[in-house]
Amino acid sequence: MKYLITGANGQLATEFRKSFEANTSIEVLALSKDKLDITDVKSLEDVILNFKPNIIINCAAYNDVDGAESERDIAFKINCEGPGFLAKFAYKIGALLVHYSTDYVFDGTKEDFYTEEDEPNPLSVYGKSKLEGEKAIISETDNYLIFRVSWVFGEGRQNFFYKLSQWMQKNRVIKIVSDQVSIPCYSEDIVKVTRRAIDKGLKGLFHLTNSGYASRYEVARFYVDISGKDNLILPVATSYFKTPAQRPYFSALSNKRISKILEIEIPHWKNALERYVKRGIQDKKYDTLF
């Protein structure tokens, strides 16, 4: 089997690279943005038609939720146009395209877990660009796996716990919003479930999260506790911080469908966070390829 991984220096891609390391029957070509820009259609075509992967895992994304408000075109190019190109070439060579979307496609007003049947209504440019990315893929191929994930954490710096650990070193008292509720998702668990879904030949769009739910405030408190620190975490409302992007109030995704189909129980986010802290990668720099 041949796998192509894009955005290879990101958190999820790093976890995929590690999970494939021991597997000699799988040939992996993992390319960072410097080697393969997914918005560069010519380079994409060259790489995909030459390497001819069986499976393409797209880990490339524009994830700066606030930045997207002023960089709309860049966000749409990376989160929508690029995935569309990938789907087109994947279809051409009969490859499966695995792609990740977000809970921010929902507006957070449902007051219950979001299922795959719920109608998206993104509040931010980032959410809109990711939703259009899903549509771009679905319009090009039916050989896809799209997983909506939330609050991804793993090895790398584009996550809440890296930022929190930086703030904790500088300040004892930290204010964290208590009116944004979702589910922290561990890269290790996302990779395990994705690989199982691939092995089972699953196709379609699924919600893939750890179990449970929590506010950013609750998550931060739990993180401080298990890190053995004495920082004080105070709850504040979203309105306390003036951020360019609007974020949903309750955007927790239901993982029931994927759990049932794959006959698995996805660990609670607290269990995932404990494993992450034990692994000691929250302060680690990207394990970059190039």
Ligand X SMILES: NC(=O)c1ccc[n+]([C@@H]2O[C@H](COP(=O)([O-])OP(=O)(O)OC[C@H]3O[C@@H](n4cnc5c(N)ncnc54)[C@H](OP(=O)(O)O)[C@@H]3O)[C@@H](O)[C@H]2O)c1
CB of residue 172 to ligand X, shortest distance in Å: 26
Q: Does 156 bind ligand X (CB under 6 A)?
A: yes
Active site residue 126: yes
Site string for ligand X, 25-44 (x = CB under 6 A): --------x---xxx-----
46: helix, strand or coil: helix
Within residues 53-82, the interface with ligand X by CB under 6 A covers 59-63, 78, 82
* Choice from 85, 100, 114, 213 touching ligand X (CB under 6 A): 100
Q: Which stretch binds ligand X (CB under 6 A): 8-16, 87-95, 111-119, 199-207?
A: 8-16
Q: Does 282 bind ligand X (CB under 6 A)?
A: no
For 129, the enclosing helix (H) or strand (E) is helix 125-140
The single-letter DSSP state of residue 285 is P
For 192, the enclosing helix (H) or strand (E) is helix 187-199
The residues, ordered by sequence, that sit 6+ positions from 96 with a Cβ below 8 Å of its Cβ are 54, 55, 56, 90, 143, 144, 145, 198, 203
CB of residue 230 to ligand X, shortest distance in Å: 27
* Choice from 3, 4, 5, 9 touching ligand X (CB under 6 A): 9
Q: Which stretch binds ligand X (CB under 6 A): 114-122, 152-160, 218-226, 253-261?
A: 152-160
CB of residue 156 to ligand X, shortest distance in Å: 5
Q: Are 152 and 277 in contact (CB under 8 A)?
A: no
CA–CA gap between residue 165 and residue 160 (Å, rounded): 9
Q: What are phi and psi of 152, to 5 degrees?
A: -65, 135
Paired with 5 in beta bridges are 30, 57
Which residue in 3, 104, 126, 276 is the catalytic one?
Answer: 126
Q: Does 251 bind ligand X (CB under 6 A)?
A: no
2: helix, strand or coil: strand
